[in-house]
Amino acid sequence: MSGWITVAGLGPGDDALVTPQVMQALEQATDVIGYIPYVARVAPRAGLVLHPSDNRVELDRARLALKMAADGKRVVIVSSGDPGVFAMASALFEALEATPDLIDTDIRILPGITAMLAAAARAGAPLGHDFCAINLSDNLKPFKMVEQRLRHAARGDFAMAFYNPRSASRPHQFTRVLEILREECGPDRLIIFARAVSTPDEALTTVTLSEATPEMADMRTVVLVGNAATRRVGKWVYAPRRAV
| pLDDT for position 1 | 56
Domain at 116-238, CATH from 2.40.30.20, 3.20.20.100, 3.30.950.10, 1.20.1290.10? 3.30.950.10
Q: CATH 3.30.950.10 spans which residues of the chain?
A: 116-238
66, burial (CB in 10 Å: exposed 0-12, middle 13-18, buried 19+)? buried
**Residue 96: what pLDDT?**
97
What pLDDT sits at residue 237? Answer: 97
Task: Classify 134 as helix, strand or coil.
Answer: strand
User: What averages of pLDDT result for each successive group of 10 residues across the chain (244 residues)?
Assistant: 92 94 97 96 95 90 96 96 94 96 96 96 96 92 94 97 87 92 97 96 96 94 97 96 74
Q: Residue 41, Cβ neighbours under 10 Å: how many?
A: 16
* CATH code of the domain occupying 4-113: 3.40.1010.10
Residue 210's nearest CA partner among 189, 194, 192, 227 is 189
Rg of the chain over Cα atoms, rounded to whole angstroms, equals 19
With 0.85 as the threshold, say if the pTM is over it. Answer: yes
Residues of the chain with CATH 3.40.1010.10: 4-113
